[in-house]
Amino acid sequence: MASFPPRVNEKEIVRSRTIGELLAPAAPFDKKCGRENWTVAFAPDGSYFAWSQGHRTVKLVPWSQCLQNFLLHGTKNVTNSSSLRLPRQNSDGGQKNKPREHIIDCGDIVWSLAFGSSVPEKQSRCVNIEWHRFRFGQDQLLLATGLNNGRIKIWDVYTGKLLLNLVDHTEVVRDLTFAPDGSLILVSASRDKTLRVWDLKDDGNMMKVLRGHQNWVYSCAFSPDSSMLCSVGASKAVVAAILV
């Protein structure tokens, strides 16, 4: 049992409390959701919350509206009720300054989620070419989903549309992380014993393959200045790599 040092007054420690609960819908006939919820993520600016609803469905929820629902209706947020359902984005994208709820079918079991936002003046670290399929603006917000089949799908958070399908891993993508400098560099960790570095500003081209692990890779994280990546896995060791 954990204990505190004598100088710490346990009574003064703020106790956590539940403010709300998001409930996944009951498993439908098509079995797209309703199993264990494996991963959640917040957008860097706090505007959105994403959670895997079990199996292949991810729900994108505007967080401020979600909190408002908690305050109005108590701890249970019955997101399936028509009276509490948040407005969804129109197919044409609508106004980006008004967040909308989206339900995304990723096509396979979702193991990992990560939000990424861009800084326009950050140049691509990969090949500097004149033409790109996507030109991300300052207000761009992306969601990366790592799947059971080794694929990574990149979604536009504001529209719910699929932008990129990254295919190179041969096993489950266990973790995803974006560089915190706004460069839209994405790193994926996989059961295929590798980490892969993707440049989304260069249309999702893969920059590097990191092979320092001898077994499954479970998790990865950038340093605050985005220059170093650390990862852990089944080999019980931390592997560090310099990316600049």
pLDDT in the model for residue 86: 43
pLDDT in the model for residue 134: 65
pLDDT in the model for residue 187: 98
Residue with tokens 């008004």: 98
- Provide the CA 53 distance to its chain's centre, in angstroms: 13
pLDDT in the model for residue 140: 82
Q: What tokens appear for 51 in the block? A: 């959670």
pLDDT tens, position by position, for the chain (244 residues)? Answer: 566 677 777 666 667 677 777 777 766 556 666 677 789 999 998 999 999 987 899 999 999 888 888 777 665 554 443 334 444 444 344 444 577 899 999 999 999 999 999 875 555 554 454 545 666 666 789 999 999 999 999 999 999 999 999 999 999 999 999 999 999 999 999 999 999 999 998 889 999 999 989 999 999 999 999 999 999 999 888 999 998 7
pLDDT in the model for residue 107: 93
Q: Domain 34-65+98-121+131-210 is in which class?
A: mainly beta
Backbone angles phi, psi at 217, to 5 degrees: -105, 125
| Torsion, Cα of 138, 146, 46, 94 (10° steps) | 60
> Up-side HSE of residue 126: CA atoms within 13 Å toward CB?
19
pLDDT in the model for residue 243: 85
The string of DSSP letters for the chain reads -----TT--GGGSPPP----EE-PPPP-TT-SS-S----EEE-TTSSEEEEE-STTEEEEEEHHHHHHHHHHH-SEE-TTSTTTPPPBPPTT---TTS--BEEEE-SS-EEEEEEEE--TTPPPSS---S--S----TT-EEEEEEETTSEEEEEETTT--EEEEEE--SS-EEEEEE-TTSS-EEEEEETTS-EEEEEGGGTTEEEEEE---SS-EEEEEE-TTSSEEEEEETTS-EEEEE--
Cα-trace Rg, the chain = 19
Q: Spell out the domain ranges in the chain.
A: 34-65+98-121+131-210
Q: pTM of this prediction?
A: 0.80
Backbone angles phi, psi at 51, to 5 degrees: -145, 140
For residue 16, give every residue at least 6 positions away whose Cβ sits within 8 Å of its Cβ, in sequence order, or none.
Answer: none
Q: What tokens appear for 243 in the block? A: 């990316």
The 48-52 sheet, strands edge to edge: 40-42, 48-52, 57-62, 102-105
Please write the tens of the pLDDT for every residue from 161-185.
999 999 999 999 999 999 999 999 9
